[in-house]
Structure 1
Amino acid sequence: MQQSYEKILTAVGEDLQRPGLKDTPLRAAKAFSYLTSGYTQSLQEVTNDAVFPSDNREMVLVKNIEFYSLCEHHLLPFYGRVHIAYLPEGHVLGLSKFARITEMFARRLQIQENLTQQIAEAVQEVTQARGVAVVIDSAHMCMMMRGVQKQSSTTRTVSFLGEFKTNQESKREFLQAVPD
């Protein structure tokens, strides 16, 4: 990967001997490896058996999980917040695991629409919940730095599974609890 960054920098006309670029290909390779580290993780690894018995059947909502990802189309960042809710069915998931699930999928080349769905399906798989809802609000650097260059634009995506898809009251309760 380091050699690839050397080629890219040379291709744009940079001098790799310039003091500011001396170790840049190595640093960039390490950074890109970190930003795509989600490929080396599994759902079982990040949840680490943190599913616990519970009689609670009411909605559990974890809001404002910050994330950073890379757009698979331009390799530019998009970032924002994830809100995840589920309706337990005999089990609850440790709260930190929602952030870990989000991070695992965000640390892959992505589009926001798929990220939303992947998080919802992972929570459903781990918890066997009656329903799962995910909302992501984010800003995309591919819209801000290039192309249309709209600095204030944001994108919201949603995924509803199970009762959140079929029960309008559950869906409404979730959406009212999620900030605009």
Structure 2
Amino acid sequence: MNDAMNEQYRQILLNLGENPEREGLLDTPKRAAKAMRYLCHGYAQSLEEIVNGALFASDNDEMVIVRDIELYSLCEHHMLPFIGKAHVAYIPTGKVLGLSKVARIVDMYARRLQIQENLTRQIAEAIQQVTGAAGVAVVIEAQHMCMMMRGVEKQNSQMLSSVMLGAFRESCTTRHEFLQLIGKGR
């Protein structure tokens, strides 16, 4: 697979009118293939592997929020980056998830070819599945290079997406509290 992907990047260089034999491009196909494998390493991960048993008994039933989780993904339409942050909340029902696992779940899904709307839902559903929470909320704010570097070229545009499950969907008060808390300090 490594050699095939390297050759495909070499062909891209040729199709662009470049000379893949010139000094600056000699190792570019290999580097580009390695970078793409890294940027998409979420395909090689599973939710079970990420969580790795890091669920802990707790009688806390108040909202837990992990805010400003950096994320880097690739748009599945143009394979250009989108970069932003995720805000994830859940209401525990007897167990809490290890803090770093929330960020790792975000990364696992972000490191796949994506659209932001699906990424937001995948994160929410994964947190729900793992914790059995009374509710899960995810908001993602991101800038998309496919909109900034090409097409309409809007440098200051930002996309917001949200998914609310359980108590966050059913209760305006719970949803409002979450949105207010992630907005603090801005």
User: Would you call these one fold, judging by a TM-score over 0.5?
Assistant: yes
**2:103 pairs with 88, 99, 102, which one?**
99
Partner of 1:58: 62
Gaps of 5+ in 2: none
**2:131 pairs with 127, 136, 142, which one?**
127
Matched residue type, 1:3: E
**1:82 pairs with 83, 86, 92, which one?**
86
Q: CA deviation at 1:75?
A: 0.2
Q: CA deviation at 1:105?
A: 0.2
Matched residue type, 1:91: K
CA deviations on 1:66-122 (whole Å, 9 max, x unpaired) are 010000000000010000000000000000001100000000000000000000000
Partner of 1:173: 177
Q: Map of 1:8-157 to 2, 5 A cutoff? A: 8-157=12-161
Measured in 1, the distance between the counterparts of 2:28 and 2:103 equals: 30
Tell me the matched-pair count. Answer: 180
Runs of 4+ in structure 1 off by over 3 angstroms are none
TM-score between the two structures when normalised by the length of structure 2: 0.96
Partner of 2:7: 3
Measured in 1, the distance between the counterparts of 2:173 and 2:53 equals: 31
Matched residue type, 2:112: R
CA deviations on 1:110-149 (whole Å, 9 max, x unpaired) are 0000000000000000000000000000000000000000
Measured in 1, the distance between the counterparts of 2:104 and 2:110 equals: 10
Partner-residue secondary structure (3-state), 1:178: helix
Q: CA deviation at 1:174?
A: 0.2
Measured in 1, the distance between the counterparts of 2:99 and 2:140 equals: 18
Measured in 2, the distance between the counterparts of 1:99 and 1:56 equals: 20
Gaps of 5+ in 1: none
Matched residue type, 1:16: P
Q: CA deviation at 1:17?
A: 1.1
Matched residue type, 2:136: V
Query: Matched residues, percent identical?
Result: 60
TM-score between the two structures when normalised by the length of structure 1: 0.99
Measured in 2, the distance between the counterparts of 1:37 and 1:10 equals: 27
Task: Please tell me the root mean square deviation across aligned C-alpha atoms, in Å.
Answer: 0.6
